[in-house]
Structure 1
Amino acid sequence: MSEIIPIFRALLRSKAGALMLLIQIAITTAIVSNAAFIINDRIQYLNTETGYPEKEIFSFSISSFGEINDLSVMLEQTEETIRNIPGVINASLVNAVPVSGSGSASTFGSQPSSERGEEIRAAYFTGDEHILNTLGLSVFDGRNFEKNEVVVGTDRNAVAQVAIVSKAFIDQKFPEGNGLGQTIYFGNDPLKIVGVVEEMVGPWLKDNQAQNVVIMPIARADKQQKFIVRAEADQRAAVMRQIDDILLAEHNKRVIMFKRGMDEAKDNYNASDILMLRMLVVLIVVLVLVTALGIFGMTLFNINKRTKQIGTRRALGARKSAIVKYFLTENSIICISGMLIGSVAAVFLGNSLMTRFSIPALDINYILTTAVFVLVISLVSVIFPAIRAANIAPSIATRSI
């Protein structure tokens, strides 16, 4: 403790190098703590369960051409053809594909929208009575759609009368727990809630209300039509390979496009987040290495600069441990000062990121953990040069005499 003041004075006499290192440690503390927090937040997001057996499901779009007598009948036949392919569990027409980044959303209220009541935003899917099984879902409260409840046809003004919703939606809409059997409004159209699914997400995983989902029994026929198919996990690839030939044999004036597995669609949707994670990891590694090398280099520079001084101290009886302690103490003063400044900067940076990019507030534990990590790295970086300094022979001090 008695050496702190002399060490501090020595740093003030050659403050340029110490100041640069202090700033470097401060920047490392601020950036690494926020980067580590963002990495953890994104990893939790990427590992969020969607509720779907992603490796069993794939989707594709069909564009039909030519004269078609009854589009609804043809698409129902197509659905049945897909279900009869060996390895297929179920199939359904849909308006959008979950976790794909593309879909539809609306507000659902307890009153018609014309009456401006309280509304909750949710993604919505449309499909027939097979959609739940195709998505690998089941109701835990209530029931599935019945066939006579499915609105089939090309009329875009036709509306459903019932709906199945996610637990997250019904808990938010009816927190008192009596949502099953209640009526919600899609615009001015009433929908009776007949079933609740425990867990499912909409097309946008990054949405704050991604788990608010409403499914309506509508099999709307269109010449541009989406299908989802669920197959046995080990048969999915085989089904995907042969489905083009099977469907073109049924009707050759159609084009099958955008065929991909749900897990692939999810990976494509999350590609930017995965790239960001990799970049942040590289940034952390580079910053830590640069900081460690900076500390190592500055310590070596100080040793070369103070060789005779160290030799003199050794000649006057200073122990090797005292020399090592001197450099560790000097480094700790710089490091702790940098960490304090960096911790304040980390808070400001975290608040700025929260405001600009809508990420959660920085957890103070990440700052503390980063500070401890930086301190350990700095001590490890200085220990070997310090040991080298301690081994300087006392005769070095008398060579120029």
Structure 2
Amino acid sequence: MKDFTVILKSLWHSKTSPLLLVLQIAVTFTIFVNAVYMVMQKHEKVTAPSGVNEKQVFSLFINLQETGEARVAEFEQAIRDIKGLDSVDNAIPVTSVPLSGYGRSVDIGYGPADEDKLTSSGYYGSNYDSLDTLDLQLVAGQWFERSDVSHSFFGARSGGKVVISRALAQTLHPDNWRDVLGKTLYVHNEPQQVIGVVDDLKAVWSFWRLFEHAVLSPTFEVRDKVGIMVKAKPAALDQAMLDVKGLLLMTPGRQIDKLKPFSQIREESYRTDVAELQTLQLVLVGLLLLTMLAIFGQARFAILKRRKQIGTRRALGANQFQVLRYYMLENFIVTLIGVVIGILCAVLVNTQLVSYFGLAPVPADYLTTGAVIILFAGQCAVFQPAWQAARVSPALATRSV
């Protein structure tokens, strides 16, 4: 307690250096806490499950050469041929491929008019086998019947059935997402009955704010160029890709595009996010190091100025531990003041970010954890100068007067 009073008087006497350090710590804390929260959100995004069996699934696009109903038969035969391969477990036609950037979105609402629109969603048209091929997890309701499957040349037929992602159900019914079951949704202005909810399925654009909204329809579209997703048998992904490619190229005029394992699609989709995450992490480390250097420099400068005082105190009986404790406590007080000011600034800055950019507010535990990290970093930075001060010889300090 005696040291505490002396330290406060000393800091008040030489206000400039401590004040500058307090301001730097406050600014560092404000930036640090908000940046850490952004890093954690970005990390959660790039590591979140896609809802798809990423180890066994791959996708590709092929051209169809027939016209009209003959094109439908050509597409269905291609799917059957792929499913017949020894290395393949299942295969489905798709209108969109998750995370690939290839696909489309649809408006969602409880009526056909523009004012009835509630949100938007990624759209997937496929067939009965999409549950097994993608390894989706049905968490409510039921899956399609085989008799529900149909084809079209664009979009789902009116009066059909759909299964939606849980994130979309929660958006439509925040209080109880299961209430969406049995309701008639207008998907791209066409009425569709919601019969089931899958746990997780992402849209095709990782940067989209409605990335977790998805609608699945048992309607596959037949065009000049069509998409296929294939589930390989366990540990046979590479072989299945080779087998499918060889099979399809046996057809004269067949073209194959974007043949990729889903793991590669995911990596390419999140490449920018991963780069941003790594950059933010480096900025955080650099920010902490700069702050520690500032604390180290200020402490070392203060100790060099007070060598005579340290020597005198040692001559009067102060031991090394007491001197070390004094400078560690002094730094703790300065850092704590900076952290308290930083907490206030961080809250104000985050409030503005939430207001203007719609970001989520920083949880209180981030402020607490950030305060502990900054205080610990400050103690680490000041330890070496404080230890040097503790080792000052009383005789050497006296001779240096």
Give the paired residue count: 397
Residue in structure 1 matched with residue 214 of structure 2 by the alignment:
213
Letter of the aligned partner of 1:363 in structure 2?
A: P
Residue in structure 1 matched with residue 185 of structure 2 by the alignment:
184
Between the aligned residues of both structures, percent identity stands at 28
Q: TM-score, normalised by structure 2?
A: 0.87
Letter of the aligned partner of 2:194 in structure 1?
A: I
Structure 2 Cα separation of the partners of residues 186 and 95 of structure 1: 15
Residue in structure 2 matched with residue 34 of structure 1 by the alignment:
34
Report which stretch shifted further, 163-172 or 128-137.
163-172
Residue in structure 2 matched with residue 151 of structure 1 by the alignment:
150
Does 2:207 align with 1:202?
Answer: no
Report which stretch shifted further, 172-181 or 162-171.
172-181
Describe the superposition over 1:298-332 as per-residue Cα deviations: whole angstroms up to 9, x where unpaired.
22222222222211222233333332232123212
CA drift at 1:112: 3.1
Query: Is the 1:109–1:186 contact (alpha carbons within 8 Å) kept by the matching residues of 2?
Result: yes
Describe the superposition over 1:123-170 as per-residue Cα deviations: whole angstroms up to 9, x where unpaired.
2211233333222236553342324x433354x487253223125245
Query: Relative to structure 1, is the Cα distance of residues 11 and 185 closer, same or farther in structure 2, using a 3 angstrom cutoff?
Result: closer
CA drift at 1:397: 3.6
Query: Relative to structure 1, is the Cα distance of residues 50 and 365 closer, same or farther in structure 2, using a 3 angstrom cutoff?
Result: same
Query: Is the 1:142–1:180 contact (alpha carbons within 8 Å) kept by the matching residues of 2?
Result: no
Q: TM-score, normalised by structure 1?
A: 0.87
Q: Secondary structure at the match of 1:112?
A: coil
Query: Is the 1:166–1:211 contact (alpha carbons within 8 Å) kept by the matching residues of 2?
Result: no
Query: Is the 2:85–2:243 contact (alpha carbons within 8 Å) kept by the matching residues of 1?
Result: no
Structure 2 Cα separation of the partners of residues 316 and 46 of structure 1: 61
Query: Relative to structure 1, is the Cα distance of residues 52 and 310 closer, same or farther in structure 2, using a 3 angstrom cutoff?
Result: same
Does 2:16 align with 1:25?
Answer: no
Does 2:261 align with 1:261?
Answer: yes
Letter of the aligned partner of 1:162 in structure 2?
A: G
Structure 1 Cα separation of the partners of residues 195 and 320 of structure 2: 80
Query: Is the 1:160–1:217 contact (alpha carbons within 8 Å) kept by the matching residues of 2?
Result: no
Q: Secondary structure at the match of 2:258?
A: strand
Q: Aligned Cα RMSD in Å?
A: 2.9
Query: Relative to structure 1, is the Cα distance of residues 160 and 91 closer, same or farther in structure 2, using a 3 angstrom cutoff?
Result: farther
Residue in structure 1 matched with residue 231 of structure 2 by the alignment:
230
Q: Secondary structure at the match of 2:2?
A: coil
Structure 1 Cα separation of the partners of residues 155 and 315 of structure 2: 97
Does 2:119 align with 1:123?
Answer: no
Unaligned runs of 5+ in 2: none
Unaligned runs of 5+ in 1: none
Structure 2 Cα separation of the partners of residues 272 and 10 of structure 1: 50
The 5 A counterparts of 1:24-173 are: 24-64=24-64, 70-113=70-113, 116-117=115-116, 119-137=118-136, 139=138, 141-147=141-147, 149-154=148-153, 156=154, 159-166=157-164, 168=166, 169-170=168-169, 173=172
Letter of the aligned partner of 1:237 in structure 2?
A: D
Structure 2 Cα separation of the partners of residues 362 and 138 of structure 1: 31
Letter of the aligned partner of 2:250 in structure 1?
A: A
